[in-house]
Structure 1
């Protein structure tokens, strides 16, 4: 993909940014991404021709929410967020953070625990946002179980049923599990979550400090983030030791991981189908 001239023009005319050099970099499976060197410094630019109007506005808000928490993790500064216009795709311009070769995983875990100590009066968020390219519905709930059931699992299951990626026969299995959630998941206070914390959504800078990117923030159960870290093989043991040095996990966490990971697994079912659907069906049919 090429860097659209319309974005180059907007950056110049609106922000006084002249691009001297640019190169394509990894931006995930959803967006096109570039490193750009300009008259005002180095930046990370991503764009998406098919993004909803508010797609990058929501990401910018999520980054700002994470940045407001009292942790030493780095969150990229948002320079500009452009909504799609005729001939101009939606784009997000961020501070460029150079990736280091290694980092302080122990410190990363401890700082994530501190992020989770950022509390709220309710579960959810006062507006909807996105996880990947899919809508993430929020609202404000007094109890975690209802929120998890009604705003996380059921909307994604409905989407998968409607697309034919999951059999509607699974509804009975889900209903049986849903009645047991209060016995499986320990109570908690609403914690600020990254919301999409897999290995591709963090990096270490050249000083070894953890950097969070691509959030899907809301206030929820802290074990959501921790479970997500285990979805594709897990983070380092130092990371989990660091987390527990600040916030020890309640007994039985490992058994709860697949329950919490129903949500990201369903997201992958709806985005990609295939073996993710098989994996989800296998888990749910055990109930």
Structure 2
């Protein structure tokens, strides 16, 4: 693709990385942002996301989340190469990341991912929450810390989204009473107490990549300190991970007894996110899960 077709973006990225952009190619970037592969005169290749209506500060939050995961030296995440999350010369925001030459994930790469994810979770977090709020998809994700996991899951995850879903007409108003009943039961449903784990926070199959050598990488995090079963429950909700991934995780960091009964409980959060963003049958899945636990 000719660079002139994305002249403003090429100029901004080149200025940030101090090298002229010689080629621009549009690539898949998800539902929220436009994305491009850019080649610089220096020989470097970068992945660049540009704002297409996402919330302000989301790129800065993503960059901070990648750094938070990287510092554990467990999972591979791309390096942040440039960030413009305020006003740029032409009024557009962007995030430039290390380019990963991807290939199809294999059972072997998923097995390595399971081991590395266990290491990430074992590295821990300072508490249940995070130093600042971030986003999941295009929705705000509040992260102000709370003392226990049941409190955090109730007041920073379930209740804010349940109220938002009702206000948007995605869930019936009477469902709020069911959520209130669930909140009172959470301490007995949440299983044995565990220390906070460092979570990716949005771990569906599209955010787990393999490079051309088969090594696994994680992208697009929505990080916080939480219960480690959250990441695993989301992985199971949408599928796409080989059984060897979960078996490898169990070998390194076995889950507490009764974990299968908690999977659907933790899936309520991503189901609420999808109910608000996409509607459809996700609301029915939320209501069915509520009935299971209350």
TM-score when scaled to structure 2? 0.92
Rounded to whole Å, the distance in 2 between the matches of 1:70 and 1:95 is 17
State the partner residue of 1:115: 120
Rounded to whole Å, the distance in 2 between the matches of 1:110 and 1:96 is 24
Structure 2 unaligned residues grouped into runs of 5+: none
Structure 1 unaligned residues grouped into runs of 5+: none
Rounded to whole Å, the distance in 2 between the matches of 1:51 and 1:89 is 11
- CA RMSD of the aligned region, Å? 1.6
State the partner residue of 2:214: 208
Rounded to whole Å, the distance in 2 between the matches of 1:79 and 1:217 is 19
Instruction: Summarize the alignment of residues 103-252 of structure 1 with structure 2, pairs less than 5 Å apart.
Output: 103=106, 104-186=109-191, 187-233=193-239, 235-252=241-258
Rounded to whole Å, the distance in 1 between the matches of 2:14 and 2:24 is 14
Change (3 A) 1:260 1:3: farther
Task: Give secondary structure in 2 for the equivalent of 1:171.
Answer: helix
Worse-superposed segment, 264-273 or 277-286 = 277-286
2:261 is matched with which residue: 252, 255, 264? 255
Task: Give secondary structure in 1 for the equivalent of 2:238.
Answer: coil
1:282 is matched with which residue: 266, 288, 293? 288
Shift of 1:181: 1.3
State the partner residue of 1:38: 40
Indicate whether 1:47 and 2:47 are aligned.
no
Shift of 1:115: 0.1
Rounded to whole Å, the distance in 1 between the matches of 2:240 and 2:6 is 37
Rounded to whole Å, the distance in 2 between the matches of 1:225 and 1:95 is 24
Shift of 1:93: 0.3
Shift of 1:234: 5.0
Task: Give secondary structure in 1 for the equivalent of 2:49.
Answer: strand
Rounded to whole Å, the distance in 1 between the matches of 2:47 and 2:252 is 33
State the partner residue of 1:265: 271
Shift of 1:136: 0.3
Question: Does structure 1 retain, via aligned residues, the 8 Å contact 2:126–2:225?
Answer: no
Shift of 1:11: 2.0
Shift of 1:6: 2.1
Alignment length (residue pairs): 285
Question: Does structure 1 retain, via aligned residues, the 8 Å contact 2:6–2:24?
Answer: no
Give the helix-richer structure, 1 or 2. 2
Shift of 1:233: 2.5
State the partner residue of 2:91: 88
1:12 is matched with which residue: 11, 14, 25? 14
Rounded to whole Å, the distance in 2 between the matches of 1:285 and 1:240 is 27
Shift of 1:173: 1.4
Deviation string 1:232-285 (CA, Å, 9 cap, x unpaired) is: 135211001110111111222122111001101101111111111121122223
Shift of 1:88: 2.8
